[in-house]
Amino acid sequence: MVSSAKRLGFPFVLALLLLAASRGAFAQSSLSAEDPAPPSPAQPPAASEAAVANTGPIQFDVGPQRPPLTDLTLGNFFSAGWNDDFAMRTRATGTPDLTLLRVQPNLLLQLFRTNFFEQTSLASATRKDLTDVDGFIDWSFNRRCMLEVNDAYQWIDPRTGSPSASGGAPGILSRIQLVDTESSSYCFNFKALAPNTPLGTTQTTLTYSLAGFEDLGYWFQLERVGLYYSLTFDSFCGPVARGTRQNDVQYCVALAKTITDTSTPNFLTLFVENFGQTDLDGTTAGRTLFSITPGVRLNFNKVGDIKLGGANSLLFGTDIPVSEYRPWDATYRLSYIKCF
């Protein structure tokens, strides 16, 4: 069963990504005059079942709305968004587009974020636990382009008789918004991460990823449910022992359900992420790790009567390996986000 998942998992996820990307990128331009128009944030909520039947997807009341943003697509990639001020879309369905724990982000942001994770009982003769703390700042210059700077530090809890070790590595990321419409959002990410030499890493990691989001309230009338997915390629550059992997691919599909109305100061989202990573070369070529991450995200703008100024978020989750290859027993994750 596990070997079948390894053979079928990556082609299936790749096909899903390509199909959804083509649908989201050109859905807006393919509508004719006779087709029902998709909802915009400026439209009022549907008043009855008859109105819903005549106007397309169900709309939910999410409070006062800003003027609708211009749709960004592949068709107007060079002509739209570059001169616009940064703005995040509020969808008429009330489905928020959120950053989660494992899936790559699909939208531009202006925020500070810090992440903590701990991997326990590593499958290593020298390492027992690994603790990682990283922080980064995202800054969007317009609706098309974003830059991120980050730094990470790790501590190794050794097994008996092994020396302890710790070290850090900086990184930089750029993100380009490919599509931003009422129903969909897609981004391309490029990241460079320096080697963590104190922990014995000698290679620079170059990462390329395509990340997407679909509002299932728009497509299937599922109230405040979002579908997220990403496809990521890692390339490792630098001196390394013969037979060490030089490339891998990561793929993730996630579902998120926001429980409370996003027009309230505080709202809660439950999510589950399905993550896979496959080595593409070296002596471990074809080796695949699959894991499931159930989690919760709390967005809060006030505590009691105290307004916190801007959006704040806490995320909690646990990675559970489900494949035959298990380099660790569990990974516990905690993140804090402060939007500017």
Residue 66: its pLDDT value, please?
A: 57
Tens digit of each residue's pLDDT (9 = 90 or more) over 298-312: 999 877 677 776 789
Tokens of 46: 């549907």
- In whole angstroms, give the CA distance from residue 87 to residue 214: 19
Contact 161, 128 (CB under 8 A): no
For the entire predicted model, the pTM comes to: 0.79
Where helices occur in the chain by DSSP H, the ranges are 2-26, 49-55, 216-220
Contact 272, 254 (CB under 8 A): yes
Rounded to the nearest angstrom, the gap between the alpha carbon of residue 203 and the centroid of all alpha carbons in its chain is 25
3-state secondary structure of 140: strand
Contact 272, 291 (CB under 8 A): no
Q: How confident is the model at residue 67 (pLDDT cuts 50, 70, 90)?
A: low
Between residues 70 and 200, the one the model is more confident about: 70
Query: Mean pLDDT score of the chain, rounded to an integer?
Result: 84
Tokens of 217: 């309230």
Residue 285 DSSP code: T
Residue 287: its pLDDT value, please?
A: 97
| Residues 234/238/242/245 CA torsion (nearest 10 deg) | -10
List beta partners, residue 247. Answer: 235
Q: Which residue shows structure tokens 């996630």? A: 254
Contacts of 163 by beta carbon, 8 Å cutoff, 6+ apart: none
Q: Is the pLDDT of residue 320 over 90?
A: yes
Tens digit of each residue's pLDDT (9 = 90 or more) over 273-305: 999 999 999 999 999 999 999 999 999 987 767
Tens digit of each residue's pLDDT (9 = 90 or more) over 211-248: 999 999 999 999 999 999 999 999 999 888 899 999 99
Indicate the burial class of 22 (C-beta count within 10 angstroms; 0-12, 13-18, 19 or more): exposed
Q: How confident is the model at residue 339 (pLDDT cuts 50, 70, 90)?
A: very high
- Mean pLDDT in residue range 107-120: 96
Q: Which helix (H) or strand (E) holds 225?
A: strand 225-237
Contact 248, 232 (CB under 8 A): no
Listed residue (40, 45, 98, 110) closest to 259, CA to CA: 98
Q: Is the pLDDT of residue 163 over 50?
A: yes
Q: Is the pLDDT of residue 200 over 60?
A: yes
- In whole angstroms, give the CA distance from residue 50 to residue 38: 16
Beta strand 247-258 with 288-303 is unpaired
Contact 266, 301 (CB under 8 A): yes
Listed residue (333, 262, 312, 308) closest to 111, CA to CA: 312
Domain of residue 145, residue span: 2-339
Q: How many CB atoms lie within 10 A of CB 310?
A: 11
Count the domains in the chain.
1
CATH number for the domain spanning 151: value is 2.40.128.130
List beta partners, residue 298. Answer: 268, 314
Residue 314: its pLDDT value, please?
A: 96
How does 101-116 read in b/e, with b if 16+ C-beta sit within 10 Å?
Answer: bbbbbbbbbebebebe
Contact 104, 230 (CB under 8 A): yes
- In whole angstroms, give the CA distance from residue 71 to residue 80: 8
Residue 7: its pLDDT value, please?
A: 41
